[in-house]
Amino acid sequence: MNRKGRPFLKKRYVLTRIRDILTRPFYWLYEKRLDSHIHEWQLPRHIALILDGNRRWARSVGLKELTKGHEVGAEKVREVLTWCYGLGIPTVSIWVFSTDNAKRDPQEVQRLMQLFEEKAREWIDDPMIHANEVRIRFMGRLQMLPENVRQAIRDVEAATAQYSRFQLNVAMAYG
Protein backbone atom coordinates (compact mmCIF):
# COMPACT_ATOMS: atom_id res chain seq x y z
CA MET A 1 0.00 0.00 0.00
CA ASN A 2 1.13 3.51 -0.66
CA ARG A 3 0.75 6.44 1.73
CA LYS A 4 -2.84 6.96 0.64
CA GLY A 5 -3.76 3.34 1.38
CA ARG A 6 -3.90 2.27 -2.28
CA PRO A 7 -2.13 -0.84 -3.53
CA PHE A 8 0.97 -0.40 -5.63
CA LEU A 9 -0.69 -1.18 -8.96
CA LYS A 10 2.22 0.04 -11.02
CA LYS A 11 4.61 -2.04 -8.94
CA ARG A 12 2.56 -5.15 -9.73
CA TYR A 13 2.62 -4.32 -13.43
CA VAL A 14 6.38 -3.72 -13.34
CA LEU A 15 6.93 -7.03 -11.56
CA THR A 16 4.87 -8.79 -14.23
CA ARG A 17 6.95 -7.17 -16.97
CA ILE A 18 10.20 -8.16 -15.20
CA ARG A 19 8.93 -11.75 -14.96
CA ASP A 20 8.14 -11.68 -18.69
CA ILE A 21 11.62 -10.41 -19.50
CA LEU A 22 13.26 -13.05 -17.32
CA THR A 23 11.23 -15.90 -18.82
CA ARG A 24 11.64 -14.73 -22.43
CA PRO A 25 14.82 -16.82 -23.05
CA PHE A 26 12.97 -19.94 -21.91
CA TYR A 27 10.03 -19.07 -24.13
CA TRP A 28 12.44 -18.60 -27.03
CA LEU A 29 13.77 -22.13 -26.41
CA TYR A 30 10.21 -23.44 -26.28
CA GLU A 31 9.43 -21.73 -29.61
CA LYS A 32 12.57 -23.20 -31.17
CA ARG A 33 11.56 -26.68 -30.02
CA LEU A 34 8.07 -26.25 -31.45
CA ASP A 35 9.50 -24.89 -34.68
CA SER A 36 11.73 -27.94 -35.08
CA HIS A 37 8.67 -30.24 -34.88
CA ILE A 38 5.92 -28.19 -36.48
CA HIS A 39 6.74 -29.18 -40.04
CA GLU A 40 6.03 -32.81 -39.12
CA TRP A 41 2.35 -31.90 -38.62
CA GLN A 42 -0.34 -30.98 -41.09
CA LEU A 43 -0.99 -27.28 -40.56
CA PRO A 44 -4.49 -25.79 -40.64
CA ARG A 45 -5.59 -23.73 -43.63
CA HIS A 46 -7.61 -21.36 -41.43
CA ILE A 47 -7.26 -20.20 -37.83
CA ALA A 48 -10.00 -18.21 -36.11
CA LEU A 49 -9.37 -16.32 -32.88
CA ILE A 50 -11.79 -14.67 -30.48
CA LEU A 51 -9.88 -11.88 -28.80
CA ASP A 52 -11.01 -11.96 -25.20
CA GLY A 53 -9.57 -11.42 -21.76
CA ASN A 54 -7.65 -8.18 -22.29
CA ARG A 55 -9.48 -6.40 -19.45
CA ARG A 56 -9.06 -9.40 -17.14
CA TRP A 57 -5.35 -9.46 -17.93
CA ALA A 58 -5.06 -5.72 -17.25
CA ARG A 59 -6.78 -6.20 -13.88
CA SER A 60 -4.58 -9.17 -13.02
CA VAL A 61 -1.41 -7.12 -13.48
CA GLY A 62 -2.88 -4.17 -11.60
CA LEU A 63 -3.41 -1.73 -14.45
CA LYS A 64 -5.85 1.00 -13.54
CA GLU A 65 -6.62 1.84 -17.16
CA LEU A 66 -8.12 -1.39 -18.47
CA THR A 67 -7.89 -0.30 -22.11
CA LYS A 68 -4.12 -0.75 -21.80
CA GLY A 69 -4.92 -4.46 -21.84
CA HIS A 70 -6.44 -4.01 -25.29
CA GLU A 71 -3.27 -2.30 -26.50
CA VAL A 72 -1.15 -5.21 -25.28
CA GLY A 73 -3.65 -7.60 -26.88
CA ALA A 74 -3.30 -5.80 -30.21
CA GLU A 75 0.47 -6.33 -30.10
CA LYS A 76 -0.10 -10.02 -29.34
CA VAL A 77 -2.31 -10.24 -32.45
CA ARG A 78 0.58 -8.93 -34.51
CA GLU A 79 2.84 -11.62 -33.02
CA VAL A 80 0.31 -14.37 -33.81
CA LEU A 81 -0.12 -13.09 -37.38
CA THR A 82 3.65 -13.14 -37.85
CA TRP A 83 3.71 -16.79 -36.75
CA CYS A 84 0.80 -17.71 -39.04
CA TYR A 85 2.31 -16.06 -42.10
CA GLY A 86 5.70 -17.55 -41.34
CA LEU A 87 4.11 -21.01 -41.21
CA GLY A 88 2.14 -20.43 -44.40
CA ILE A 89 -1.34 -20.56 -42.85
CA PRO A 90 -3.32 -18.76 -45.54
CA THR A 91 -6.38 -17.51 -43.63
CA VAL A 92 -6.70 -15.97 -40.18
CA SER A 93 -9.94 -14.59 -38.78
CA ILE A 94 -10.06 -12.46 -35.64
CA TRP A 95 -13.19 -11.45 -33.77
CA VAL A 96 -12.23 -8.16 -32.17
CA PHE A 97 -15.49 -6.48 -31.14
CA SER A 98 -18.91 -8.05 -30.59
CA THR A 99 -22.22 -6.24 -30.56
CA ASP A 100 -22.29 -6.97 -26.80
CA ASN A 101 -18.97 -5.11 -26.43
CA ALA A 102 -20.74 -2.00 -27.75
CA LYS A 103 -22.84 -1.97 -24.54
CA ARG A 104 -19.80 -1.35 -22.33
CA ASP A 105 -18.90 1.94 -20.69
CA PRO A 106 -18.99 4.64 -23.41
CA GLN A 107 -15.45 5.82 -22.56
CA GLU A 108 -14.09 2.30 -22.97
CA VAL A 109 -15.92 1.86 -26.28
CA GLN A 110 -14.58 5.22 -27.48
CA ARG A 111 -11.01 4.19 -26.60
CA LEU A 112 -11.51 0.86 -28.37
CA MET A 113 -12.74 2.68 -31.48
CA GLN A 114 -9.61 4.87 -31.38
CA LEU A 115 -7.47 1.75 -31.09
CA PHE A 116 -9.28 0.05 -34.00
CA GLU A 117 -8.79 3.11 -36.18
CA GLU A 118 -5.09 3.36 -35.22
CA LYS A 119 -4.43 -0.32 -35.98
CA ALA A 120 -6.35 -0.23 -39.28
CA ARG A 121 -4.37 2.83 -40.37
CA GLU A 122 -1.08 1.16 -39.32
CA TRP A 123 -1.95 -1.84 -41.51
CA ILE A 124 -2.22 0.43 -44.56
CA ASP A 125 1.58 0.90 -44.62
CA ASP A 126 2.65 -2.10 -42.52
CA PRO A 127 5.68 -3.82 -44.11
CA MET A 128 4.58 -7.19 -42.68
CA ILE A 129 1.18 -6.90 -44.37
CA HIS A 130 2.63 -5.89 -47.74
CA ALA A 131 5.63 -8.25 -47.73
CA ASN A 132 3.28 -11.18 -47.04
CA GLU A 133 0.62 -9.90 -49.47
CA VAL A 134 -2.17 -10.03 -46.90
CA ARG A 135 -5.64 -9.08 -48.03
CA ILE A 136 -7.57 -7.59 -45.11
CA ARG A 137 -11.36 -7.76 -45.02
CA PHE A 138 -13.75 -6.59 -42.33
CA MET A 139 -17.16 -8.07 -41.61
CA GLY A 140 -20.02 -7.40 -39.26
CA ARG A 141 -22.48 -4.58 -38.66
CA LEU A 142 -19.94 -2.00 -39.68
CA GLN A 143 -22.63 0.69 -39.94
CA MET A 144 -22.67 0.63 -36.09
CA LEU A 145 -19.10 1.93 -36.03
CA PRO A 146 -18.11 5.62 -36.08
CA GLU A 147 -17.45 7.09 -39.52
CA ASN A 148 -13.71 7.56 -38.84
CA VAL A 149 -13.37 3.83 -38.09
CA ARG A 150 -15.40 2.89 -41.19
CA GLN A 151 -13.18 5.16 -43.30
CA ALA A 152 -10.03 3.51 -41.90
CA ILE A 153 -11.58 0.12 -42.74
CA ARG A 154 -12.31 1.20 -46.31
CA ASP A 155 -8.77 2.54 -46.64
CA VAL A 156 -7.05 -0.64 -45.41
CA GLU A 157 -9.31 -2.85 -47.52
CA ALA A 158 -8.47 -0.76 -50.59
CA ALA A 159 -4.74 -0.80 -49.78
CA THR A 160 -4.70 -4.61 -49.62
CA ALA A 161 -7.40 -5.50 -52.18
CA GLN A 162 -4.86 -6.66 -54.79
CA TYR A 163 -3.34 -9.32 -52.50
CA SER A 164 -4.33 -12.98 -52.40
CA ARG A 165 -1.44 -14.86 -50.76
CA PHE A 166 -2.86 -14.50 -47.24
CA GLN A 167 -6.25 -13.39 -45.94
CA LEU A 168 -7.01 -11.63 -42.65
CA ASN A 169 -10.71 -11.43 -41.77
CA VAL A 170 -11.62 -9.00 -39.00
CA ALA A 171 -15.05 -9.35 -37.37
CA MET A 172 -16.26 -6.12 -35.79
CA ALA A 173 -19.72 -5.32 -34.41
CA TYR A 174 -20.37 -8.98 -35.07
CA GLY A 175 -22.59 -11.44 -33.29
Active site residue 100: no
Give the structural domain span for 166: 43-174
Q: What is the mean pLDDT of the chain?
A: 87
Residues 9 and 48 in one domain: no
On whether both 78 and 153 belong to a single domain, the answer is: yes
Q: Is the pLDDT of residue 3 over 50?
A: no
pLDDT for residue 166: 98
Quick one: what percent of the chain has pLDDT higher than 90? 49
pLDDT given for residue 88 in this prediction:
93
Average pLDDT over residues 109-113: 92
Report pLDDT for 108: 86
Q: Mean per-residue pLDDT for 133-151?
A: 96
Q: Are residues 58 and 135 in the same domain?
A: yes
Same domain, yes or no, for 79 and 32?
Answer: no
Q: Tell me whether residue 54 is one of the annotated catalytic residues.
A: no
Instruction: Give yes or no: residues 55 and 33 share one domain.
Output: no
Catalytic-labelled residue, pool 35, 101, 125, 155: 101
Which DSSP string corresponds to the chain?
--TTS---HHHHHHHHHHHHHHHHHHHHHHHHHHHHHHTTSPPPSEEEEE---HHHHHHHTT-SSTHHHHHHHHHHHHHHHHHHHHHT--EEEEEEEETTGGGS-HHHHHHHHHHHHHHHHHHHT-HHHHHTTEEEEEES-GGGS-HHHHHHHHHHHHHHTT--SEEEEEEEEE-
More confident of the two residues 116 and 8:
116
Q: Which one is catalytic: 20, 35, 52, 125?
A: 52
Model pLDDT for residues 17-73, shown as the tens digit of each residue: 787 788 877 777 877 777 777 777 789 999 999 988 888 888 887 777 777 888 888
pTM equals 0.78
Q: What's residue 154's pLDDT?
A: 98
